[in-house]
Amino acid sequence: DAGVIQSPRHEVTEMGQEVTLRCKPISGHNSLFWYRQTMMRGLELLIYFNNNVPIDDSGMPEDRFSAKMPNASFSTLKIQPSEPRDSAVYFCASTVRAGGETQYFGPGTRLLVL
């Protein structure tokens, strides 16, 4: 299994531009999580889906952030418009089901907003 796949691995953009991050979870996993990691705040859960349905989006910082999971094998995290403070590493993780199961993380997308 290729594990969780994220793209792009790196993204540099200008303030105000739209950014779309992509994630393909491990096949057969029913829960998908989006995280943001910075030096100052560490890992933060943004949103998670269970069976393609958003369950908890309380971590989404503001309306500029949106996430979708149109099917079991694909999810996007969109930032529009992007701001310099959005610069971080964004991780996607998947697990068989939400709860106490081990989460498998992707390699992350390193985002820099200038």
Among 2, 42, 63, 70, binds other proteins (CB under 8 A): 42
Cα-Cα-Cα-Cα torsion 37, 102, 98, 111, nearest 10 degrees, comes to 20
Question: Quick check: 23 binds other proteins (CB under 8 A)?
Answer: no
Question: Quick check: 54 binds other proteins (CB under 8 A)?
Answer: no
Q: What span, in angstroms and rounded, lies between the C-alpha atoms of 55 and 86?
A: 23
Question: Quick check: 70 binds other proteins (CB under 8 A)?
Answer: no
Question: Quick check: 34 binds other proteins (CB under 8 A)?
Answer: no
Give residue 16's region: left, alpha or beta (phi > 0; psi -120 to 50).
left
13-21, 42-50, 66-74, 77-85 -> range binding other proteins (CB under 8 A): 42-50
